[in-house]
Amino acid sequence: MRTTNDKTLLRERVIDAGQELFHKNGIRAVTMDDVAHKLHISKRTLYQLFDTKESLLIACQQKAMAEHQQQIRNIMAETDNVIEIILCDLQLNMKEIQKFSKEFLNDIPLYDKLRENIRQHRKENKANALEFIQRGISQGLFRPEINAEMVYEVGVGITDLLVEKGYYNTVSPFEMLSSSTIAYLRGISTEKGIELLNNFVSKYKTTE
């Protein structure tokens, strides 16, 4: 008989296996049989932990979001410079995108629950995002006349458009971000902020 700790550890293993399979093969192509086979466990054991593939998918998403949030907290513990934090976040995003197959990226818009979770996550973190933008203004990195609310909403819109149009599949992560997010940041940044952005682009080009 499994203890609570055993079940927790197995649940984490299932989530890790699910993430790997979803990212590699796409969401639609992966079955619960595939997950059970990968872990050498019975389907009965798997269904005791996750009753549907969607529930496993949501758990995978929640873990990824929690890990990303922790990475951001780690970055913020090292620097309070708003643009440096954003650029570190962009680097994390580019590394993550490179792990995803085209099939996975194509499947994301098909799952309403995934998108709803993202919307809810944004809603919960919007106040922090607006405060973050104001901090960028105070640091002399963002132009003082910008409207933080509009800057936030346009930034979210850019991210959604990239997914909706499938640009993740047609251009490199760096080309995608330099033509969208980084270009947008240049438009709202002061000369001081633009210098940091340009340094990031130059450095990334040499290591790409």
Query: 28-61, pLDDT tens digit by residue?
Result: 999 999 999 999 999 999 999 999 999 999 999 9
Q: What is the pTM of this model?
A: 0.84
Q: Cα(14)–Cα(38) distance, rounded to whole angstroms?
A: 9
| pLDDT tens column, 96-110 | 888 889 899 889 888
Residues 58 and 113: beta-carbon distance below 8 Å? yes
Mean pLDDT score of the chain: 91
Q: Quick one: which of 171, 168, 180 has its CA closest to 26?
A: 168
Sign of CA dihedral 169, 175, 179, 180: positive
**Residue corresponding to tokens 């940091």:** 196
Instruction: Label residue 192 by pLDDT band (50, 70, 90).
Output: very high
